[in-house]
Structure 1
Amino acid sequence: MAIGAWLIWGRGGSDRSDRGASTGVASAVPSEDQATGKEEQPEIDSVALLENAGVQSVNPAPVPAAVDAWGDYVKNRSWSGMLRVFEGQDATPVTDDDHSRFPATMNHCGVAMYLVTFRSVNEDVLLGTQLLNAANNIDASETMSDGWILTTNCDTPQFAFNSSTGISNLGDVVYDVTEYRQSSVADPTADSAAASADVRGESTASEVDEGEPYVVECLQGVPGPARWSDGTMAYAEECANTPEAQRSIRAEGLCGGLYAPGDVSRDEFEAICHRAPVYPPEDAS
């Protein structure tokens, strides 16, 4: 029963706050703060927090609610969990809803976004909150007892024991994960329609609409996602084919396992994975 109470907190606050963040409609019933004369706390604009956050970022409160849609993303699924961290030990990763490996991959990064809200059950314990990519590099890291993460399907969120103001040498972390998927993709008929219009001497929509979104920058560290001119973050094919993107995809195949593939050289493995390779033992037979 105690775990359930913590998980309710992790979803971003009370029901009243969630409704205000999702609908933007103020309640006609006076709040408790208004009745007592206390200063009312401002409502959280969850959509603005999500749209303005960095793609691979660890953020402090206020914590956004898991809204149904923001930018070019719509809610796909959500789950909750709890993990334990120990002093002096490696970070513990967040898992999928079936307790399997977190759904991180270098392929088509940006087609999925994850909002992860978290809290240390023991308030005395500070957490080392990290985002780990396929090359075992930390893309973002902060120390806090509670907050939220916005990441793509390129990184795995994980937590480590940082410190304690009490006598604890371990801590429990409760978290909620919401997966978002892109709501729009390029129209496959657009090229053929443009070609037909060109033959007829007509103007296409892209020629007339000068405000059509375009890629402003490819986001570093994750192949595929891009920041577009309309402020959205979405997959762009041109960003998935850069040398940096191909290097990241190569890293996923080389660095994820215990052993290095037998056909990779020591120099290549060390350059990409930033650690010495360990090759599988020879067959005793």
Structure 2
Amino acid sequence: MRAVVYDTYSQDLSSLEVREVPKPKVGPGTVLVKVKAAGVNPVDWKVMAGYLDPLMDAYFPVIPGWDVAGVVEAVGFDTPEFHVGDEVMAYARKDVVQGGTFAEYVVVPAKAVALKPAELSWEQAGGLPLAGGTAQRALDTLGDLDGKTLLVHGAAGGVGSLAVQLGVARGATVLGTASEKNFDFLRGLGAVPVAYGEGVVERVLEAAGGKVDAVADFVGEQLETTLAVLADGGKHVSIADGGVAEHGGRYVWVRPDGGETARLGELAASGALKVEVAQSFGLDQVAQAFALSQSGHVRGKLVIVP
């Protein structure tokens, strides 16, 4: 099968190559998926750069990619819950870094797999699991948001835009930081947009009519702003700044969980959650997708379509 691979940790995106590699074997408790779409996430190029090496073993050559949507090609002999031909999606991270989703086929643990709603395109389904699961875990950590004010840092990005919608669905008044070009987009999701940069604290306080009850940081380096606008007793989380734990916050990392992915799928199918696909790329364009992701100015999700 064709797959994107790299042979060693590197920040040089030119080291990504498309090669013929063996089709993965279907072991017990797994599902072989023919990939229709695979979401790009910042963690993909961070793993490639070696940033997660203290946490996870890597076996080279590595196929990157942790999100997938596709069709079940085969199932393990002890995996009766899925069948050949099922349309599925998954946050497909494994215990080691090696066989990812930027390929024609990927093996995924059955516990991470959910059926794809018919209402979602392949690109939307491929971009939903990791970003949506991260947003969902972050808001679950913040607790009951009904009637409260939530500030989302990085509200127009892949995770942030989903968190905005989840917050609105949970009854929160949502403020979201973004560049002015994304203000109409955020208004369409139900958020009050706030320009980031110098003066953001004052703008948040004015838009909220005071301090906010909860903050979700999907950017990093926002702790000073968060603490300045958070009400006494308020809660805050970050997916990009582990230092929040020293200031009463929670650092969030999401686990692969088919049940949680299915919950996201139900919300998307109902229309309560929209996956904005910014751009799709072929396997030979993964370096371009990584470079765009690294720019930090993507609205919605980038997706690889083999």
TM range (shorter): under 0.3
Structure that is richer in helix per residue: 2
Q: TM-score, normalised by structure 2?
A: 0.22
Q: TM-score, normalised by structure 1?
A: 0.23
Higher-Rg structure is: 1
